[in-house]
């Protein structure tokens, strides 16, 4: 009887945590709940089929306007692992898919960056952002209607025209995102 009671209590607690970020609770409690439940939410994404099509993540840009920068040579003998999507500085950058924000931060190459994990365990990388969307945080659920940030030139893109570096990664490595992209409705 005690085991059953413990199991039911655990299920109720986890269920409550899973929805705590949607309840009228203090912001700190909602943020903690998002982080505590994120590993479970990510684990549930893995068995799902990855998206066959992704919506262009930059507002106002059509697929036909995106040049092909996949595997273009880069400094240090690297190859470009993504597509550069050029737009006016400050243009909204949206998530290309449903998923969860797993990292918001800075690095030398990408500058202001956001990582989103989607179905099938695919990771989506948004780099060179001028700024992040207000209140964007690790653990947030995102959709193609969610603004992640704004086109910029941070990281190693300083001195280049404003653009979003958009990368798609699987367990096998980088995938060219261009053939997956479809126009934003």
pLDDT at 12: 47
81 shares its domain with 41: no
User: Are 144 and 69 contained in the same domain?
Assistant: yes
> Where is 147: in which H helix or E strand?
strand 147-150
Enclosing domain of residue 16: 2-45
163 given a catalytic annotation: yes
Based on the structure, what is the number of domains in the chain? 2
Can you tell me the distance from the alpha carbon of 42 to that of 70, in angstroms, rounded to the nearest whole number?
Answer: 28
Q: 89 and 174: one domain?
A: yes
Contacts of 31 (CB under 8 A, 6+ apart): 21, 137, 139
A 10 A CB-CB count for 164 gives 28
Q: Are 69 and 128 within one domain?
A: yes
Q: Are residues 40 and 110 in the same domain?
A: no
Kindly state whether residues 23 and 94 are assigned to the same domain: no
Residue tagged active-site, from 71, 80, 128, 163: 163
CATH of the domain at 172: 2.70.70.10
Considering only CA atoms, give the Rg of the chain.
18
- Digit-by-digit pLDDT tens for the chain (185 residues) are 666 555 445 554 555 555 555 556 677 777 777 878 899 899 999 999 999 999 999 999 999 999 999 878 788 888 789 999 999 999 999 999 999 999 999 999 999 999 999 999 999 999 999 999 999 999 999 999 999 999 999 999 999 999 999 999 999 999 999 999 999 98
Residue 28 shares a structural domain with residue 58: no
- Do 41 and 78 reside in the same domain of the chain? no
- The answer to whether residues 41 and 124 belong to one domain is no
| Amino acid 98: pLDDT | 97
Instruction: Let me know whether 64 and 34 are in one domain.
Output: no
135 and 165 in a single domain? The answer is yes
Query: Which pTM value belongs to this model?
Result: 0.85
Find, among 168, 170, 169, 123, the residue nearest to 178 by Cα.
Answer: 168
What is the per-residue pLDDT for 32? 76
Same domain, 36 and 63: no
| pLDDT score recorded for residue 70 | 86
């Amino acid at each position: 009887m005690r085991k059953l009671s413990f199991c039911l209590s655990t299920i109720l607690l986890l269920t409550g945590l899973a929805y705590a970020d949607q309840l009228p609770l203090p912001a700190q409690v909602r943020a903690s709940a998002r982080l505590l439940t994120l590993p479970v939410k990510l684990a549930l994404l893995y068995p799902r089929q990855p998206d066959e099509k992704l919506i262009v993540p930059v507002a106002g840009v059509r697929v036909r306007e995106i040049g092909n920068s996949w595997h273009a040579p880069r400094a240090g003998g690297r190859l470009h692992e993504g597509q550069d999507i050029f737009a006016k500085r400050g243009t909204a950058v949206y998530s290309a898919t449903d998923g969860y924000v797993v990292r918001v931060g800075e690095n030398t190459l990408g500058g202001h960056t956001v990582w989103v994990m989607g179905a099938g365990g695919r990771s989506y990388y948004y780099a060179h952002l001028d700024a992040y969307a207000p209140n964007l945080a690790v653990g947030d659920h995102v959709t193609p209607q969610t603004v992640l940030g704004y086109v910029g030139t941070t990281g190693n893109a300083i001195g280049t025209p404003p653009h979003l570096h958009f990368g798609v990664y699987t367990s096998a490595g980088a995938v060219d995102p261009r053939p997956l992209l479809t126009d934003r409705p």
